[in-house]
Structure 1
Amino acid sequence: MKNLFKTLIVVLALTTTVDSFSQIRITGVDPNQNLVFIRNYGTTTVDITNHILSSKLTNFTVGSMTVIAGNPSALGSMQTAWVQGGSLDAAGADLALYVPGTTDFNNTSNLLDFVQWKSGGHGREAVAVNKGIWTAGDFVCGNPTYTYNGNGGTVDYGVSHWNGTGCTTSIDEANGGEKLTIYPNPAKDVLNVTIASNVAVLSYRLINILGEVVLESNQNYSNEKLSLDISSLPKGQYAFVVNTVSEVITKKVLITQ
């Protein structure tokens, strides 16, 4: 029970609570303890007991699981239910969330959320890829608890919004303030960067969630506007990292090609 309490504290602390999209989402998974965290990002109370979870093609309802915390039968706005049950493979598996009454698990309209850990290609991955909420082969690295750090928004899907213990697949934003302005964001073909007059840029890099540098420059800039061609880059979340004479500034960038 002590470990269960620690897991609850970690997931509740890492779950963001600032969006109003009407969605039920998976916000944490600990396969070592068969624990699942489900959050209501909508504005009204929802009964999620008949929502269906699927892991490695084995299906079970939320209502069939043991309630550890929260109220799945009346899950309020921005509340999280903590349930335990099913059989989750800690060595590598998926977890998909479906609407109540689902019989056709290949129908993307029935799929609400998806995550997989340790390795790719599990269970309902193909359905999630077809729906556009996951990329084939992606998985959350590290160890449990696997935690969602998005806002429940329509673009906050995919491995870039999940972290494992000892391994980070999301891109964190740090520093910068108004020293660096990036727009539009999300971006499609061109990313504009405006540099404040009091900032001397030594170099910049655009990095994907795998840590690969996809754009870079070692030219010095100050009080300038840059227009970067990103038309050839795949959609996803990136980090724009700028080295200045005094600090490193990191900005999140979402590309939507």
Structure 2
Amino acid sequence: MLLALGACGTGDEEQAVSDLQLVGVDFELNSIILTNGGTDDLTTRDIWIYQDGEAFMLDIFRIEPRDVILFSVRELGLLDPSGGEIAVYEGSDFDDETTMLDYVAWGSGGHDRLETASAGGEWAQEGTVDVEAGTIVLLRPDPLFNGPDAWEQSDVIP
């Protein structure tokens, strides 16, 4: 499932993806929220989503600057609010911190990419986001910051 909140296309051009940012995890919809934080269009060519030893490649879409897109991650199983992680990669070398574009870890357990994220600068602090009962969505209001303190919890979908 793809929900685009802004313009979206299937651009065939090769674009830099370093501005692709993970800004939300929706436990209720089993989805993640990505945005283009740059000033140029980018494509999701060879973008992989990783969780707990499972990964899948996103379909190819063009994302314009500041567009926000909701991607289903059902291929990875259910997102568990009690503990887990999402890593976004360019390419499928999941042990290479230079290919990790963004990361979030929450709760306890299921954090096998935490060390890679810290080594690559995608997770700035020790620890994970604490998730309280009833949390539906984790949001990162300012994608320039990372680590547990950069994420907020919500019991409503924005």
TM-score tier (shorter) = 0.7 to 0.9
Partner of 2:127: 137
Structure 2 residue runs without a partner (length 5+): 6-17
Q: Which amino acid aligns with 1:95?
A: I
- Per the alignment, do residues 140 and 26 of structure 1 end up closer, same or farther by CA in structure 2, a change over 3 Å counting? farther
Partner of 1:147: 139
Shift, 1:121, TM fit: 5.7
* Bigger Rg over Cα: 1
Deviations, residues 156-183 of structure 1 (Å, cap 9, x unaligned): 11111101126xxxxxxxxxxxxxxxxx
Partner of 2:9: none
- Listed as ranges, the matches of 1:118-137 within 5 Å are 118-119=107-108, 122-134=111-123, 135-137=125-127
- Per the alignment, do residues 133 and 140 of structure 1 end up closer, same or farther by CA in structure 2, a change over 3 Å counting? farther
Shift, 1:139, TM fit: 2.2
2:118 aligns to what SS in structure 1? Answer: helix
Are 1:98 and 2:89 an aligned pair?
Answer: yes
**What is the TM-score normalised by the length of structure 2?**
0.75
Shift, 1:114, TM fit: 0.6
Partner of 1:76: 64
Deviations, residues 134-175 of structure 1 (Å, cap 9, x unaligned): 23332242322000111x33xx11111101126xxxxxxxxx
1:112 aligns to what SS in structure 2? Answer: strand
Q: Which amino acid aligns with 2:56?
A: F
In 2, distance between residues paired with 1:57 and 1:127?
Answer: 13
- Per the alignment, do residues 140 and 38 of structure 1 end up closer, same or farther by CA in structure 2, a change over 3 Å counting? farther
**Is the contact between residue 140 and residue 163 of structure 1 (CA under 8 Å) also seen in structure 2?**
no
Partner of 1:61: 57
In 2, distance between residues paired with 1:121 and 1:90?
Answer: 11
Q: Which has the higher contact order (CA 8 A, sep 6+)?
A: 2
In 1, distance between residues paired with 2:37 and 2:46?
Answer: 17
In 1, distance between residues paired with 2:94 and 2:20?
Answer: 17
2:32 aligns to what SS in structure 1? Answer: strand
**What is the TM-score normalised by the length of structure 1?**
0.48
**Is the contact between residue 105 and residue 111 of structure 2 (CA under 8 Å) also seen in structure 1?**
yes
1:42 aligns to what SS in structure 2? Answer: coil
- Per the alignment, do residues 85 and 120 of structure 1 end up closer, same or farther by CA in structure 2, a change over 3 Å counting? closer
Are 1:165 and 2:157 an aligned pair?
Answer: no
In 1, distance between residues paired with 2:136 and 2:45?
Answer: 24
Say how many residue pairs are matched. 134
Structure 1 residue runs without a partner (length 5+): 9-21, 64-71, 167-257
Deviations, residues 35-69 of structure 1 (Å, cap 9, x unaligned): 11100001111111531110112111222xxxxxx
Runs of 4+ in 1 over 3 A off after TM superposition: none
